[in-house]
Structure 1
Amino acid sequence: MKEQSAQAPYRAHPYREVPYLLNSVPGRLHNAPLAFAHRGADPERENTMAAFRRAVDLGFRYLEIDVRTSADGVLVIFHDETLDRVTNGTGKVSDHTWEQLSRVRLTTVTAANPSDDAAPVLGEPLVRFEDALQALPETHFNVDLKDSEAVKHFAEIVDRHGAHHRVLAASFNDARRHRVGRLVARRVASSGGWVSTALMVFLGPLGGFGRLSQRLARFDCAQVPIRQTRVPIVRPKFVERCHRAGLQVHVWVIDDPAEMHRLLDMGVDGIMTDDAEALAEVMRERSVWPQTEPVEH
């Protein structure tokens, strides 16, 4: 497929301008769908600097990450409540100080059959959110706030580094997103939690978007799975209603290229993936890759 200019318009109707969402403002990604590397899109090294740097090298501008608070108030990039699944540590993240967590390493099993007895291989260390923010100054972070304590630390770090245009506050818990808005010195982008999303899904078909207008104005995008249990969410009418309300629709977690194309043809505005190469290739076919700024030599 012959590549077209990345400046070519992707959609007919304008976005609500949000500095974090580069497809909503003039520039290389204006009107283009966004690609998000979910936890760095490297499942064996999820939420680590190695995964983040690989995604950026592939052309990703957006990283989806999770943050939790250590016992001494450090914001750590980590998904699970406990360390056991992916590291050589045990117990809750919140029960450990950053000094203790800094010695923890991700683990991988090298046996051909994962059920075989094999010593796990120690890998990447955990990362502080502030360190990632500083190490990747051109990268935008979609930050899932996994505990209530994370809110104040997130707001303080974003204010201190003036990173308001580079972060989006996400949480299943709508109250955390509201607290971020009250604490930061300047507005940051946010996505709706489960309550807001459920209202959009169930009230929308009944003409309830008008009654939701004030609530919807408080966030910038719906970041949703294709379906939740047996309830379908991402359908053409849902995307259309979100767009009419000024909201972008970002879908997680999609690893199948055919499904990526189907969703993009439907008009979704972003895709989160664990398969970095697959999404990069789909976006390349649509002439919106790489999404990072070109390196000047």
Structure 2
Amino acid sequence: MGAVREAVEQGFGYIEIDVRTSADGKVVVFHDEQLDRITTGTGRLSHYTWDELSTETVLGPQPRHEQVSEPLVLFEHLLETFPNTRFNVDLKDRASAAPMAEILRRHRAWDRVLIAAFRDSHRRLFFDHIQAEDHTVASSAGSESVAQLLLAHRLGRFTQTVRRLRQRLPLHALQVPVRQGWIRVVTKRFVDACHRAGIAVHVWVVNEQEEMERLLAMGVDGLVTDNGADIAEVLAARGQWPQRL
């Protein structure tokens, strides 16, 4: 909660988070499968109820690993506490799909969330719980779909592949690294192809200011970064700071 509050106070309108699900179906803001690395708890998060998890404390960065004196937080509490903030939510487990759909429905937060996941199967489960009367929810492709689109772009079959993928799942964005091994993922031609198909391109994790400027000049739509100070400076120079929703 403290990290999100600090980011919002600095001017960020879009926050990237990861979620996992407790044993009693609560959606918890947490990256790791295990609690051990960054909390006072041990074992898998999914083995504990929210009442049990709420007694654990977040730890500070290593090597000192001091207590931050702050508890874990539910995603629902972030929505309530920061009503003008939008969240890029990475579904880390399958169990989060159904309760996430219910949370968005209860809070009418359809336009405040982009659903992401490394596995397209997690996104598929989420959209299986979206009802016909629900509003559109933005979503970015999983790794399988990204791989198909990269290959299709090289083979000149990008448009057909986008059409086929959209028959299965919504596709509003791609969230990709600049490179994957020896493969250059983010190029001007690829970004332009995505834009022609109505797909936004978000690049992670970009922490160098020169790289931020280069990618934005190329036309990418978003950057995931750990370096808040530099991205704020870069966006301010472009007249885009603080972020307006």
TM-score range, shorter chain: over 0.9
Structure 1 residues 109 and 286 mapped into 2: Cα distance closer, same or farther (>3 Å)? closer
SS where residue 240 of structure 2 aligns? coil
Q: Distance in 1 between matches of 2:46 and 2:199?
A: 34
Work out whether residues 114 and 139 of structure 2, in 8 Å CA contact, stay in contact via their aligned partners in 1: yes
| Unaligned ranges ≥5, structure 2 | none
Q: How far did residue 123 of structure 1 move?
A: 3.0
Work out whether residues 57 and 68 of structure 2, in 8 Å CA contact, stay in contact via their aligned partners in 1: yes
Q: Is the aligned partner of 1:152 residue 2:101?
A: no
| Equivalent runs, 1:127-276 vs 2, <5 Å | 127-184=73-130, 185-217=134-166, 218-276=170-228
Work out whether residues 109 and 121 of structure 1, in 8 Å CA contact, stay in contact via their aligned partners in 2: no
Report the number of matched residues. 239
Which structure features the higher share of helix residues? 2
| Equivalent runs, 1:87-166 vs 2, <5 Å | 87-108=39-60, 114=63, 120-166=66-112
Residue aligning to 1:13? none
SS where residue 80 of structure 1 aligns? coil
Q: How far did residue 223 of structure 1 move?
A: 0.7
Structure 1 residues 224 and 109 mapped into 2: Cα distance closer, same or farther (>3 Å)? closer
Q: Distance in 2 between matches of 1:292 and 1:135?
A: 18
Amino acid in the other structure paired with 1:142: N
SS where residue 70 of structure 2 aligns? strand
SS where residue 160 of structure 2 aligns? coil
Work out whether residues 57 and 67 of structure 2, in 8 Å CA contact, stay in contact via their aligned partners in 1: no
SS where residue 212 of structure 1 aligns? helix
| Equivalent runs, 1:280-291 vs 2, <5 Å | 280-291=232-243
Q: Distance in 2 between matches of 1:180 and 1:80?
A: 20
Work out whether residues 204 and 223 of structure 2, in 8 Å CA contact, stay in contact via their aligned partners in 1: yes
Structure 1 residues 51 and 214 mapped into 2: Cα distance closer, same or farther (>3 Å)? same
Q: Distance in 1 between matches of 2:151 and 2:65?
A: 48
Give structure 1 regions of 4+ aligned residues with deviation exceeding 6 angstroms. none
Q: How far did residue 100 of structure 1 move?
A: 1.3
Work out whether residues 172 and 193 of structure 1, in 8 Å CA contact, stay in contact via their aligned partners in 2: yes
Q: Distance in 2 between matches of 1:109 and 1:64?
A: 19
Higher relative contact order (CA 8 A, sep 6+): 1
Once the two structures are superposed, residues 125-174 of structure 1 have per-residue CA deviations (whole angstroms, 9 ceiling, x without a partner) of 11001111111001001110010010001001000111001111100111
Q: How far did residue 216 of structure 1 move?
A: 4.7
Q: Quote the RMSD (CA, aligned, Å).
A: 1.5
Q: Distance in 1 between matches of 2:67 and 2:125?
A: 40
SS where residue 159 of structure 2 aligns? coil
TM-score with structure 1 length normalisation? 0.77
Work out whether residues 108 and 123 of structure 1, in 8 Å CA contact, stay in contact via their aligned partners in 2: no
Aligned counterpart in structure 1 of residue 22 of structure 2, from 66, 70, 93: 70
| Unaligned ranges ≥5, structure 1 | 1-48
Once the two structures are superposed, residues 237-288 of structure 1 have per-residue CA deviations (whole angstroms, 9 ceiling, x without a partner) of 2111111111010011111111100100111011111111111111001110
SS where residue 142 of structure 1 aligns? strand
Work out whether residues 76 and 126 of structure 1, in 8 Å CA contact, stay in contact via their aligned partners in 2: yes
Moved more, 194-203 or 118-127: 118-127
Moved more, 176-185 or 274-283: 176-185
Q: Distance in 1 between matches of 2:244 and 2:49?
A: 35
Q: Distance in 1 between matches of 2:143 and 2:215?
A: 21
SS where residue 158 of structure 2 aligns? coil
Work out whether residues 257 and 279 of structure 1, in 8 Å CA contact, stay in contact via their aligned partners in 2: yes
